[in-house]
């Protein structure tokens, strides 16, 4: 079972998992049957009649709002389909959803091979990294990574922050970010984190210039390069600027180890 995209609890045809089933069939060199839902009589019937070695893929879990709500009844229905739960999705292990936290609490559970490998690598990385150790963080939300950043301040030599979360950091420093992605989060918490990084040796590097579009993001939208101090009120940050890229490149080239999480 898995999810794809953010359908917000509704069936979105382009987010069905049929292409995933096809690719799994190619990788496993056997037929992977995909059912049209993840709960219900059809699913229960298929699960009950599975033969040894057979693989079945459930439909996108996020077509049901109960998944992201970690609804206990939804988790119970999923758990009733199987005998053992194996979580091999390291990238979603932090999410308190029905298919992760809920099901895991109802069945004998373990980590998959990929999950175990990623935990091993990350543990070694955090305990005794080669230096310089550089962390690159991206993605939309800073809120879910505040504690991670605070812990990394004592481990990493440099933390490069880009992507959507960088606009929240810039806003916390008092910069105008226009209509760029800005998370609804307490900017005082972000400011405190940035000040702590400064006190520990300017460990966090934020963008110094950006590519922005005006009012819309599209292939036809005109773009321009601006310093972060000069983002227009109707500007939308869409990418790192040339100077920012150069600074990030310098830090990454100096590093012995780079840990990268999230799109920038």
Which domain covers residue 207, as residue numbers? 129-261
CATH number of the domain to which 188 belongs: 3.40.50.1260
Q: Is residue 123 part of a domain?
A: no
- pLDDT tens, the chain, 264 aa long: 999 999 999 999 999 999 999 999 999 999 999 999 999 999 999 999 999 999 999 999 999 999 999 999 999 999 999 999 999 998 888 789 999 999 999 999 999 999 999 888 888 888 889 999 999 999 888 887 888 899 899 999 999 999 999 999 999 999 999 999 888 888 999 999 999 999 999 899 999 999 999 988 888 888 999 999 999 999 999 999 999 999 999 999 999 999 998 888
Residues 168 and 254 in one domain: yes
DSSP-assigned letter for residue 99: I
Residues 86 and 169 in one domain: no
Q: Is residue 78 part of a domain?
A: yes
> How many domains are contained in the chain?
2
Q: Is residue 185 part of a domain?
A: yes
Q: Is residue 124 part of a domain?
A: no
Pairwise CA distance, residues 42 & 239, whole Å: 45
Q: Is residue 162 part of a domain?
A: yes
Q: What is the pTM of this model?
A: 0.71
Nearest to 194 by CA among 247, 151, 149: 149
Q: How far apart are the first and last CA of the chain?
A: 28
């Amino acid at each position: 079972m898995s999810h794809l995209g953010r359908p917000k609890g509704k069936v979105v045809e382009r987010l069905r998992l049929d292409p995933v089933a096809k690719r799994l069939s190619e990788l496993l060199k056997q037929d992977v049957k995909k059912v049209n839902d993840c709960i219900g009589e059809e699913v229960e019937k298929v699960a009950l009649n599975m033969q040894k070695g057979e693989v079945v893929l459930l439909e996108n879990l996020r077509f049901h709002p109960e998944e992201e709500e970690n609804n206990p009844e939804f988790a119970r229905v999923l758990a009733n389909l199987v005998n053992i739960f194996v979580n091999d999705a390291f990238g979603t292990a932090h999410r308190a959803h029905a298919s992760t936290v809920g099901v895991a609490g109802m069945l004998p559970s373990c980590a998959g091979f990929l999950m175990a490998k990623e935990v091993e690598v990350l543990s070694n990385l955090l305990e005794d990294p080669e230096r310089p150790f550089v962390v690159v963080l991206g993605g939309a939300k800073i809120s879910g990574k505040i504690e991670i950043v605070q812990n990394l301040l004592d481990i990493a030599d440099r933390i490069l922050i880009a992507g959507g979360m960088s606009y929240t950091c810039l806003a916390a420093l008092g910069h105008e970010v226009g209509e760029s992605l800005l998370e609804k989060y307490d900017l005082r918490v972000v400011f405190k984190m940035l000040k702590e990084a400064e006190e520990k040796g300017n460990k966090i590097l934020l963008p110094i210039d950006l590519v922005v579009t005006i009012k819309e993001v599209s292939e036809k939208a005109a773009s321009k390069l601006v310093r972060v101090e000069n983002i227009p009120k109707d500007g939308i940050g869409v990418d790192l600027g040339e100077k920012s890229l150069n600074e990030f490149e310098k830090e990454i080239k100096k590093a012995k180890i780079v840990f990268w999480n999230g799109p920038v």
